[in-house]
């Protein structure tokens, strides 16, 4: 009987651990890069450079007091999947008239001082995502129109890089 009990315990242990083992390293693959910019009239705009597959939308959020308390502050959906290339859209418009291919699902709430915001891109089926960019209201006041800050990753660190839109479109996919 002891042999059977060990077999049963081993199977039960394996069954309990299987979900953890299968999800080790689970994450949505990144195949695009999110950035943020300001327009010539000072409006905040999102930027997504799709490198290969597609992106369906973007969300802005702020972390709450506990890391599990994330709050969405803006949510936008492209009317058609975004494929390779750069897309810009205003974040502060109910319905972005300048970019009719975007639909505002949740209008961006006013940005507060001393608060870090994160913008990222996603797909409806969670098959792909865009690398996120984190910014503050102060970061936006220091931006010149046409400059796009984004999170640049190297083998040793991630850091915020700010480049002209043409460079963002030409270079961000090189290391994806």
Average pLDDT over residues 58-74: 75
What pLDDT score was predicted for residue 26?
A: 65
The model's pTM is: 0.79
What pLDDT score was predicted for residue 58?
A: 96
Could you read off the pLDDT of 134-165 as tens digits, one per residue? 999 999 999 999 999 999 887 888 888 899 99
* Burial (0-12, 13-18, 19+ Cβ within 10 Å), 140: middle
Please, what are the domains in the chain?
Answer: 27-171 (2.60.40)
Is there a contact between 117 and 88 (Cβ–Cβ < 8 Å)?
A: no
Neighbour tally for 36: CB within 10 Å: 24
pLDDT above 90 covers a percentage of the chain that reads 48
């Amino acid at each position: 009987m002891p042999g059977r009990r060990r077999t049963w315990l081993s199977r039960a242990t394996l069954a309990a651990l299987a979900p953890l083992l299968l999800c080790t390293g689970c994450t949505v693959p990144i195949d695009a890069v999110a950035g943020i910019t300001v327009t010539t009239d000072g409006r905040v705009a999102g930027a997504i450079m799709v490198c290969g597959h597609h992106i369906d939308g973007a969300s802005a959020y702020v972390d709450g007091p506990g890391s599990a308390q994330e709050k969405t502050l803006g949510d936008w959906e492209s009317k058609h999947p975004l494929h390779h290339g750069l897309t810009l859209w205003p974040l502060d418009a109910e319905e972005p008239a300048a970019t009719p291919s975007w639909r505002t699902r949740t209008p961006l709430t006013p940005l507060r001082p001393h608060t870090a915001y994160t913008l990222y891109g996603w797909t409806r089926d969670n098959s792909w995502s865009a690398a996120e960019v984190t910014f503050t209201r102060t970061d936006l006041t220091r931006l010149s129109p046409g400059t796009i800050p984004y999170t640049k990753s190297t083998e040793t660190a991630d850091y915020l890089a700010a480049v002209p839109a043409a460079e963002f479109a030409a270079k961000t996919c090189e290391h994806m």
